[in-house]
Structure 1
Amino acid sequence: MGRSQRKLELVLLWHMHQPDYRDPRTGEFTLPWVYLHALKDYADMAYHLERHPGVKAVVNFVPVLLDQLEDYAEQFRLGLVRDPLLKLLGASNLDQVSPQTRTFILDACFRNNHHTMIEPFPPYKRLHELYRQLNVQGESAFAYLSGQYFSDLLTWYHLAWTGESVRRRHALVQRLMAQGSGFTHSDRFALFQLIGEVVAEVIPRYRRLAQSGQIELSTTPHYHPLAPLLIDFRSAREALPGVVLPQTACYPGGRSRVEWHLDSALESHARRFGDAPAGVWPAEGAISQPLLELLASRGCRWTASGQAVLANTLRRGGATHVLADRTHYLYQPYRYRGPGGEVTCFFRDDQLSDLIGFEYKSWFGRDAANDFVRRLEDILRRSPEDARPLVSVILDGENAWEYYPYNGYFFLDDLYTLLENHPLISTTTYRDYLARSAAAAAPLPPVVAGSWVYGTFSPWIGEPAKNQAWELLAAAKQHYDLVMQGGRLKPEEAEAAHRQLADCESSDWFWWLGDYNPEHAVASFERRFRDKLGNLYRLLKLPVPAALSTPLSRGHGDPEAGGAMRRASKEREG
């Protein structure tokens, strides 16, 4: 095959995830991020794909996110909303809000990226300036704010979180943004209803895209657990030999817990979308040899991780000669074969993924799109003569756009336009690629366990607060096992306890622990983790340990992107 005839194949995998924000005792949503990201990011990402039918992609939805999207859709359908911020948006009277409600609104409605979501809108910016002036005088000064102020603030917060595609397609949003202030209950309730319509359409839109063959939908173990650590804490030492592990030797029955999360994800995906997923994106791209064995035993055709995991694996396997040039090792599939079956592994290009996640936000959209395509052309040019490179770009499909002007609208539109018409670059999905090229995978040496962040598990284990959280979770699991073995709970009680345990096993609670994270995020997430563990003990009909009343971490950092995303390499972090 001549070099001029070769093509580069590109897989764009957009990962969509939020942990379970529902209060375990009341069912009330304690944070609004699921419906806000649906309104802004899930809607926009579907729109760009619908607008560019020649672009293929993989979209990964974590089941617990889909659970919550369905929950919100049902709330809107029944008119019984369990989200305090949404309730206030639709409330008929804001003139007599309590001091607690006033504080809640003011704390919530400036919780966004001010550069892209407040400053571009003068009426919203004026609301923030007034808040700052009063804040200098102390909290008592907020009593002078009128019901109209709160009506305008709630409206603008939701308008700022409205996706660019929703703004362009709905006259209501355009009218409210032009109006600027003086929003009535009728205005707010109309926006409330529109949010319900957008949220309810998220899953059906992606289902239609999958049915058309344009996208492949993949899944993640149900509650997004850091699976290799659940299976064996010691896997953290494969990439970081000196890491300090929790005093608890292991997570009790961790392998069976991962099996449950995986089986539940496969079942719920098939139920929602009418077909079993071909692939599994493990939480945080975290893989290990035992996890690959589980994926293969469940018939998963593919999985994926980060570039550093592959580099560590090849280095330990003695293939250091290829690491100097990533075109000689990165842009190809690898096959794991084990006693339970086989699974094809793909590894993302960390540099390209981080460019979208962190760098292009400050570029003009067309310039960024051109640069991205130029880099792909360069990979094709530098690849071995007989190779047809497959480039994997995998990243968060929701948090990055908050830092882009217009929610990344122009960058994504320009990028998809260039890719759709490029003679040497073809977008594909892993399912389609394997259908054509299943025999092309190279054998994967025994994998060095790691994630897409630094190629290690350091964001989730190894620091005092994170290790203490694992010890608290392991102790709760031991109590859970004893109660279940005793058969003291009714079937519905046992199921509730089981679901609560699964929620506690999410990687998110460990991610946010650590003083390098922002204070408000640490306080929010670590408190929810302790509340969920406490509720697990209540469901088991056991006393709640006193240790769960003490905060695990405080947080005082100011990390890039608010800490919601991290670059693949520490060296490139600002």
Structure 2
Amino acid sequence: MNSINVIFLWHFHQPYYKDDLTGEILMPWARLHATKDYRFMGEILKNYPKVHAVFNYSPSLLAQLDDYVNNYDNTLKNEKFLSISAKKIIELTADDKLFILNKLFPACSSGKHFLEKSERFKQLYYRLRDAGTSIGLGEKISLFTNQDYLDIIVLFNIMWIDPISINSDEFLTALKNKDKKFTVAEKNILIEEKIPQILNKIFPLITELASNGQIELSASPYYHPILPLLCDTDIAHFHDGIVLPKPFRHPEDADYQIKSAINYFDEKLNYKINGMWPSEGSVSERTLKLFIDNNINWIATDEEILFNSIGVNFSDIDNRKLLYRPYVVKRGKGYSYIFFRDKMLSDLIGFKYSNYEPKAAAEDLINNLKNIAISLHDYNKNDLPVVSIILDGENAWEYYKNNGYDFFNYLYEGLSNNTEIINTVTAGEYIKKVENTLKITDDVDKASNSIEKGKTGVKIKRFLDIRRDQGRNIDFSEIYNIPTIYPGSWINHNFRIWIGDSEDNKAWDLLSKTRSYLVNKTNDSIREEGGLRGEYLKAAWKQLYIAEGSDYNWWYGEDRTSGIDEEYDLLYRTHIINVYKFLNDNPPDDCFIPVLEEKRAVKPHLDIVSFINPKIDGVAGSYSEWLGSA
């Protein structure tokens, strides 16, 4: 059995939650995922040095983590979840208690295993739920004693800490085991000492893993925008049946989001970024040129982009072999390698394996990888097949038992014991293998002549057109160029999550209007002597770039809901409003009108693509039985 290369890319991202004008942190998710997932993912990988991976971060997330680390005392005041947690119990107001009941409980009830972390928390949660919605606010508050509120606060914060951090700290272990009747002193130690200790370990851990080569760091564009839409929203016309807003065409903004991400890693982490996971795997011809022009050596997107680009049926098993080989996108004199996400394997981890027993899930993934290796039996020993497993590195684990701790131990141990078949690599390591093994140069004719004359050490880079070579067996000793990329994202190979719905289009129009205002103010300031100070213009442009992020439109529209859509709507409009406020102007009235519409009907975001015939036997079978369903 030939070996295969496997690239795990874990993507870490949170939108920018801070109101830069007031300093208020409007949502706690960057901090909560930091204590539950960001240290956890590094520590558990560190225990298995044979396993390599790519850790992909959005700078908008890292900048917020840096703020928590270096300004924790301020975040104690400015993040409401933290400030209420730090407050003396006897000083909690009725509004504070309502906030605890309305916000802390839901934040621990999304994943099916979350409530199982604490019997006491579950009892308190069900007490509130069973009281129903008809009781008054005062009665709702009085359902709980001060000791109850103290326990809710402590348990909420401990439940958002990963098992490695808990098990390696005697105080946290004792607190978790105690589960109830906490003291104020214990709460204070947790909030004021233990949480910042965990946060402080994240950046050194990332740096250590990157410096020893176990991980490669890569980036997404700074504020996580959908770059093809920034370049030209009309690219979405490529997909039929979509109504679009007024055109938004600003490739210069897309270029800025790429450049500023590269600069962040260079300046803050002293790390040169070679690769990018474009936000949501979104690509287009225009964005490929931007990546190449910015010397990005590799990018990644979804398998459906590949199959639509080369015009093959991706449900055909034989065609799937095309997924597991090296590709480039060569444009002009430049090029980037491009990796394509194995949708089935990535989605198994992201959406299915949480329903399995951890050991069974790990074994299933490893067996799937072995089966891929078997399917590639006709390749010779110099072939370098690669499987790219790319997914969110934080949100899935709350649906797993023990935050995925057992799953990852079984998985990483299994991978470590099967290195003769499954070789985990970073993207950079794989590219180095390719360039050391395959024939690589830009000038085919010149190199061929050199070889004929007996000269050695000449490498031939043959970027063969994949479309022209579909009719014959793919030769893995040659690198294939994709002459035209199909525009789309990892979700249904289109952009409909972010544009086309009336709410999405309203948000784009508001962004466009705000940008036009900002350009005019910038031009006026340049022309006028004694115009606006540069720091204010810079702050205003920052707000616009933040508002270009994908997360707001992720929740706009009828395709999905967060349960707190109003808060994301407010977050979006806060950044828009701040563009005007930083320039000491009154925002237009439409900035204060919710983008959300009153009547919404949430629809599934996955298309039904075929009939399915799964075996209904009460046993968790293969994921492939359910392919095609929503």
Q: TM-score scaled by structure 2?
A: 0.85
> When you count helix as a share of all residues, which structure comes out higher?
1
CA distance in 2, matches of 1:52, 1:556: 47
1:434 aligns with 2:431: yes
Q: Could you tell me which of 367, 382, 385 is aligned with 2:379? A: 385
Shift of 1:84: 1.4
Q: CA deviation at 1:541?
A: 3.3
The CA deviation at 1:567 is: 9.7
**Contiguous gaps of at least 5 residues in structure 1:** none
- For 1:557 and 1:122, how far apart are their aligned partners in 2? 35
1:292 to partner: Cα distance = 0.7
Matches within 5 A, 1:357-368: 357-368=350-361
1:276–1:159 Cα change, 3 Å: same
Q: Distance in 2 between matches of 1:96 and 1:278?
A: 51
The within-5 A match list for 1:272-287 is 272-287=268-283
The partner residue of 2:516 within 475, 478, 484 is 478
Aligned residues: percent identity? 30
CA RMSD, 1 decimal? 2.2
1:163 equivalent in structure 2 = 162
Give the whole-Å Cα distance in 1 for the aligned partners of 2:601 and 2:6.
36
| 1:155-191 CA distance string (max 9 Å, x none) | 1111111111112111112211222222122111111
Partner of 1:182: 181
Q: Which amino acid aligns with 1:101?
A: D
Q: Which residue of 1 aligns with 2:79?
A: 83
* 1:107 maps to which of 102, 106, 116: 102
Counterpart amino acid of 2:180? Answer: S
Shift of 1:513: 0.5
Corresponding residue to 1:122 among 108, 112, 119: 119
Distance 1:42 1:365, change over 3 A: same
Q: Aligned partner of 2:18: which letter?
A: R
Contact 1:8 1:391 in 2 (8 A): yes
Query: Secondary structure, in 3 states, of the residue corresponding to 2:324?
Result: coil
Partners in 2 of 1:337 and 1:138 — Cα distance?
64
Shift of 1:22: 0.6
1:369-415, Cα deviation, whole Å (9 max, x unpaired): 11111111111111242343200000000000010110011111100
Q: How far off is 1:569 after superposition?
A: 8.0
Deviation sequence 1:235-293 (CA, Å, 0-9, x none): 2233x1332111x1223xx1111111111110111123323111011111101111110
For residues 567 and 46 of structure 1, the distance between their equivalents in structure 2, rounded to whole angstroms, comes to 34
Which residue does the alignment assign to 1:195?
195
- Aligned equivalent of 2:595, options 534, 549, 552: 552
TM-superposed deviation, 1:114: 5.6
Cα separation, partners in 2 of 1:528 and 1:491, compared to 1, 3 Å: same
Aligned equivalents of 1:572 and 1:512: distance in 2?
Answer: 24
Cα gap change, 1:159 to 1:276, in 2 (>3 Å): same
Residue 369 (str. 1) matches residue 362 (str. 2):
yes
Secondary structure class of the residue paired with 1:457: coil
Q: Deviation digits for residues 191-246 of structure 1, max 9, x if unmatched?
A: 111111111211110110000000000011111111000001122233x1332111
Q: Distance in 1 between matches of 2:601 and 2:315?
A: 38
| Equivalent position amino acid for 2:587 in 1 | V
**Whole-Å separation in 1 of the counterparts to 2:256 and 2:280:** 18
CA contact (8 A) 1:226 1:283 kept: yes
* 472-481 or 130-139: bigger deviation: 130-139
Any idea what SS the aligned residue of 2:122 has? helix
Q: Show the 5 A alignment for 1:460-539.
A: 460-487=498-525, 488-518=531-561, 520-539=563-582
Change (3 A) 1:367 1:465: same
CA distance in 1, matches of 2:73, 2:593: 39
TM-superposed CA distance for 1:324, in Å, is: 5.2
| Residue number in structure 1 paired with 2:171 | 172
Report deviation, 1:454: 0.9
Secondary structure of the 1:95 match is: helix
State the Cα distance separating 1:468 from its structure 2 match: 1.0
2:306 aligned partner:
310
Cα distance change on mapping 1:87 and 1:559 into 2, 3 Å:
farther
Match of 1:425 among 422, 426, 447: 422
Evaluate the alpha carbon distance shift between residue 79 and residue 429 of structure 1 in structure 2; reply closer, same or farther with a 3 A threshold.
Answer: closer
Deviation, 1:127, is 1.2
CA distance in 2, matches of 1:115, 1:290: 41
Q: 1:270-321 deviations in whole A, cap 9, x for unaligned?
A: 1233231110111111011111101111111000000111111111xxx569
**Is the 8 Å Cα contact of residues 322 and 328 (structure 1) preserved in structure 2?**
no
Q: Which residue of structure 2 aligns with residue 138 of structure 1?
A: 136
Q: How does 1:284-363 map to 2 (within 5 A)?
A: 284-315=280-311, 325-339=318-332, 341-363=334-356
Out of 89, 92, 99, which is 1:94 matched to?
Answer: 89
TM-score in terms of structure 1 length: 0.93
In 2, Cα distance between the equivalents of 1:573 and 1:62? 31
- Please state how far the C-alpha of 1:134 moved relative to its aligned partner: 4.1
Indicate how the Cα distance of structure 1 residues 345 and 267 shifts in structure 2: closer, same or farther if over 3 A, else same: same
4+ residue runs of structure 1 moved beyond 3 angstroms?
A: 77-81, 133-136, 319-324, 554-560, 566-574
Secondary structure at 1:520 match in 2: coil
Q: Which position in structure 1 is the counterpart of 2:489?
A: 451
CA contact (8 A) 1:15 1:394 kept: yes
Q: Specify whether residues 51 and 176 from structure 1 end up closer, same or farther in structure 2 by C-alpha distance, changes over 3 A only.
A: same
Distance in 2 between residues matched to 1:321 and 1:159, nearest whole Å: 44
Once the two structures are overlaid, the 10-residue window that deviates more, 406-415 or 185-194, is: 185-194
Residue segments in structure 2 that go unaligned for 5+ positions in a row: 441-477, 526-530, 611-626
1:573 deviation in Å? Answer: 5.8
Q: 1:556 to 1:175 in 2, by over 3 A?
A: farther
Q: 2:410 aligns with which of 410, 414, 419?
A: 414
Q: 1:343 to 1:66 in 2, by over 3 A?
A: same
Structure 2 CA distance for aligned equivalents of residues 519 and 191 of structure 1: 29
Q: Distance in 2 between matches of 1:288 and 1:55?
A: 32
SS at match of 2:389: strand
Aligned length: 558
* Residue 327 of structure 1: how far off its partner (Å): 3.5
Aligned partners of 1:323, 1:538: CA distance in 2, in Å?
55
TM-superposition CA deviations, 1:319-342 (whole Å, max 9, x none): 569965343310112111123611
Distance (Å, rounded) in 2 between the aligned partners of 1:121 and 1:205: 29
- Give, in whole Å, the separation in 1 of the partners of 2:233 and 2:314: 31
Tell me, yes or no, if the aligned pair for 2:303 and 2:343 is still in contact at 8 Å. Answer: yes
Task: Provide the C-alpha distance between the structure 2 equivalents of 1:97 and 1:379, rounded to a whole number of angstroms.
Answer: 58
SS of aligned partner of 2:235: helix
CA distance in 2, matches of 1:32, 1:326: 44
Cα gap change, 1:323/1:481 in structure 2, threshold over 3 Å: closer, same or farther?
farther
Amino acid in the other structure paired with 2:71? Q
In structure 1, what is the Cα distance between the partners aligned to 2:37 and 2:315?
38
Contact map agreement 2:326 2:385 (CA 8 A) in 1: no
CA pair 308-524 structure 1, distance change in 2 beyond 3 A: same
